[in-house]
Amino acid sequence: MNDFSVLVETCRLIQHFVRESGDVVELFAGTDYLSNHSLVVYRLKRLSFACIQAIHHNRNKLKDQLLMTGEEPSASTAILLQALVLILDPKLPWACKTVGYLLQRNVFSLFREVILTAKENINAKGSFGKVSALEHVLACMVSHVGQSPCICTNVDPQWSFSFQILTIPFLWKKFPYLKEVFASRSLTQYYTNQMALCVQNHANVLPTDMLNEFPGYACILGNILETTGAALSQPDCSFEMALDLAAVTTYLLEALPPIKSSSREIGEDDMIIGDESVEIVLDDNLQQQITNAIDSRFLVQLTNVLFGGISTAHGSHNEGPDDKEVAAVAAACAFLHVTFNTLPLERIMTVLAYRTELVPVLWNFMKRCHENQKWSSLPERFSYLLGDAPGWLLPLSVFCPVYKHMLMIVDNEEFYEQEKPLSLKDVRCLIVILRQALWQILWVNPSAHPSSGKFISNTSGHKKHPVEAIQSRVGTVASELLSQLQDWNNRRQFTPPSDFHADGVNDYFISQAVTEGTKAHDILKQAPFLIPFTSRVKIFTSQLASVRQRQEAHGVFTRNRFRIRRDHILEDAYNQMSALSEEDLRGLIRVTFVNEFGVEEAGIDGGGIFKDFMENITRAAFDVQYGLFKETADHLLYPNPGSGMIHEQHLQFFHFLGSLLAKAMFEGILVDIPFATFFLSKLKQKYNYLNDLPSLDPELYRHLIFLKHYKEDISELELYFVIVNNEYGEQTEEELLPGGKNIRVTNENVITFIHLVSNHRLNFQIRQQSTHFLRGFQQLMRKEWIDMFNEHELQLLISGSLDSLDVDDLRQNTNYAGGYHGEHYVIDMFWEVLKSFSLENQKKFLKFVTGCSRGPLLGFKYLEPLFCIQRAAGSASEEALDRLPTSATCMNLLKLPPYGSKEQLETKLLYAINADAGFDLS
């Protein structure tokens, strides 16, 4: 008989004796254990280890038996393991020393290889639905370690249960009983603390014997998450255990490659991985185990334990946060920062926004740190950040995306009147914090920290150091949130626009911002709101001028001439200009007008006639009577959803109009086209949301808000996921979801219904028209130019200010010729008359002289060429004084006879500017 058979027979006899007598101590020590305990313990240590070695050595031959229960009398592995269960019973006097002996010999590494050998035989005969003998042995050892009055010596964590057994894929499917044992609060806390210590010391403790799709860090993460929820839900779960759990999951999650989902949230960023990394693709089931575990229940429980007892009261405090609050915020933010970069966000954000205290706790924390200058305490309290890292990095990396998610769902009444989720006073403070943090990241201190080692050796790649990654992340999410808050401020101003401007923007910064590749230029692209609007306009105009100069320098000087009938301006322009290339559009376009009699109007187009053409064609094309555009209740323009019912070539027209608008902006010509904000969003390639709906359909918005706050049973209202379109008396019904006509709106899905209706009206109905308009627009206007401005500012670029004409500014920037000067009596009369005009007549005067009814965006000192008043030639005689003022719009020149009285000057000037005779008058 060989040694293995002898060992099996010995163990079988041990079990037989115990069944007969029931006294294990008597079997091994006789009647006097105390006098023989040293020898007894020595023999039991050797016997236990021999059993484990025997199973490990013969594991491949016995793999069909490895997971059998102790009820199989003929199974040799079951006999050996059942003997171990008897020997390792925690109630026995030698248990502690025996377990300690086994741990010192790294038996969990042997058990690991045994389990991995048996992994394909989980449902072997006799084991299904019952506790296997191997599972019993593991439970004995796991439950013994760390229990008072345990005196086991500490062993190298690398060979511990945590890093040898918990790293086995889907461990709990193999050992459900072991899962119950491990999930007890005391054991979970012990092992979590053990792992947290390894994490903080950056120890390389994970085995590397698995396939790439089953890396140890992912397996241990899935197994831990699957059991810790039970411990977190217990009333006596400790704050320390939550801290340890957050630390462990943070470092394990950081090692994961990003887990993709079927739908990605707008603005979501993938985790940044170095160029030299090798892509690791996790097993689908392993991914599912991790994502399922970090569910709404887990997030709520973890944040509840961490934030329990932390006040969310608003208001200022003399003292900054205490150590416990700093530790809680640091742990929660580190975990969530990594979670955002790794897991799908669609489920996580809603839970954090509406089922936890995350936003009020973080805001209260950030506000007090800001008021008391206590930011520096955070890196000192938590090892995830370097000691010299800015303390606001972690809180902002988490707060910004969650609060941004909330702002996408709240309505205007909640934000402005009810001041939810933050008071407007707090929002103003938040803007300051975000602005200062963003400026610090992007301009003052954009340098990255050097990389350092991690406790995980077989990760998915060498990632950026956490501080560098967080800094990059905060730069993105803070920019997005500030941009969103600026949109709220544009809808209804609650803070001065200058609150969004960084304090450090100076002439040097502006000069740098024009040059691609500079820090200032990058800031202009990522966070343009930090730079005052007037400065951005100067940058924009200089960029356009640079393009024109480069084109001329390369000898590209296209000149196109067109004859346009005034009473058929749109049709003639479309027929002659719609096929122009981008090169043609960048070049000079000259127009000759033909009046209603077919006669060409007098005048040579040096640029002034073209400005007049642009103003007239845009007025005709965007007239609602033409059918391409409609008006909101506030008389703002947006594409007519039913345009195709009026014009067969409506999409081609939209493309043409987009290119016309771009040409006007390219040439610096202001046109009086008041667009609806939600349509201007399309020029920035943005989606519109519920809060944009009042500008289109205030009545529909009121109905949707009524549904949002409806307290009764919404299903009784008999609403379904369909919407009725009514264009020119023709009604059509569209489903908002597949099968929507059979999906009733309920209290559970009403928010989805509200946002689908808003999306349909604001985005879906005008998608084709907007797309073609944008394509035409982008022939001349680069996306990066337009992205410098928000929708409100974009309207100013198109149309200029709606405020009254600044006559004093015009006077200060006027040249004189032909004997006139600033103190001449005719000039004094002229300025008095112009100031007395109505705004409408002032705009007509400006159009008469410059070809455009809007003044330059930055003031008349930027008018090119500068405004000039010249004394009309030959105007000494009385006959000459009956002449009307004339103009040369290409030179912004007014030819003014020396009238003898203010009344005569006013009469002649009003007649000239209201003659509407085109260029025949001059």
How many other C-beta atoms lie within 10 A of the C-beta of residue 499?
15
Q: Express the helix, strand and coil content of the chain in percent, nearest 5 each.
A: 55, 5, 35
DSSP-assigned beta bridge partners for residue 562: 591
Decide if 586 contacts 551 (C-beta within 8 A). Answer: yes
| CA distances in angstroms from 422 to 361, 404, 426, 709, 730, listed in the order given | 12, 12, 6, 19, 44
Is 890 among the residues known to form the active site? Answer: yes
Strand (E) or helix (H) holding 241: helix 239-255
319 CB-contact burial (10 Å; exposed 0-12 / middle 13-18 / buried 19+): exposed
Measured in residues, the chain has a length of: 922
Q: What are phi and psi of 665, to 5 degrees?
A: -70, -35
**Sign of the CA dihedral running 297, 303, 306, 311:** negative
* Gap between the Cα atoms of 621 and 611, Å rounded: 15
Sequence-separated (6 or more) residues with CB below 8 Å from residue 664: 614, 618, 670, 671, 798
Catalytic residue among 219, 369, 868, 890: 890
Whole-angstrom Cα distance, residue 95 to residue 87?
7
Q: Are 250 and 338 in contact (CB under 8 A)?
A: yes
> Rounded distance, CA 426 to CA 812, Å?
43
Q: Please answer whether residues 887 and 849 qualify as being in contact, where contact means their C-beta atoms are separated by less than 8 angstroms.
A: yes
Distance CA 617, CA 611 (A): 10
For residues 711 and 439, give the distance between their C-alpha atoms in angstroms, rounded to a whole number.
Answer: 44
CA distance 732 to 734: 7
- Can you give 19-58 as a three-state secondary structure string? HHHCCHHHHHHCCCHHHHHHHHHHHHHHHHHHHHHHHHHC
Q: Which of 540, 436, 637, 572 is nearest to 857 (CA)?
A: 540
Phi–psi pair at 694, nearest 5 degrees:
-55, -30
Return the structure tokens found at 549: 């100069």
Residue type, 212: N
Tell me the one-letter amino acid at 524.
L
Contact 715, 743 (CB under 8 A): no
Q: How far apart are CA 737 and CA 704, in angstroms?
A: 17
In this structure, what token pair is assigned to residue 922? 């001059």
Beta-carbon count within 10 A of 111 CB: 22
The answer, yes or no, to whether the previous bond of 446 is cis (omega within 30 of 0) is no
Q: What is the DSSP string of 270-316?
A: PPPB-TTPPP----HHHHHHHHHHSSHHHHHHHHHHHHTT-----S-
DSSP annotation of 527: -
Torsion 137-141-143-148 (CA) sign: positive
Contacts (Cβ under 8 Å, ≥6 apart) of 9: 1
Cα angle: 722, vertex 726, 730; to 5 degrees = 115
Classify residue 733 as exposed, middle or buried by CB count within 10 Å of its CB (0-12, 13-18, 19+). exposed
Task: Find, among 402, 470, 482, 398, the residue nearest to 441 by Cα.
Answer: 470
DSSP letter string, 141-172: HHHHTT-TT--PPP--GGGSHHHHTTTSTTHH
What letter does residue 530 receive in the DSSP assignment?
A: G
Calculate the CA 461 to chain-centre distance.
Answer: 24
Q: Which residues are catalytic?
A: 890
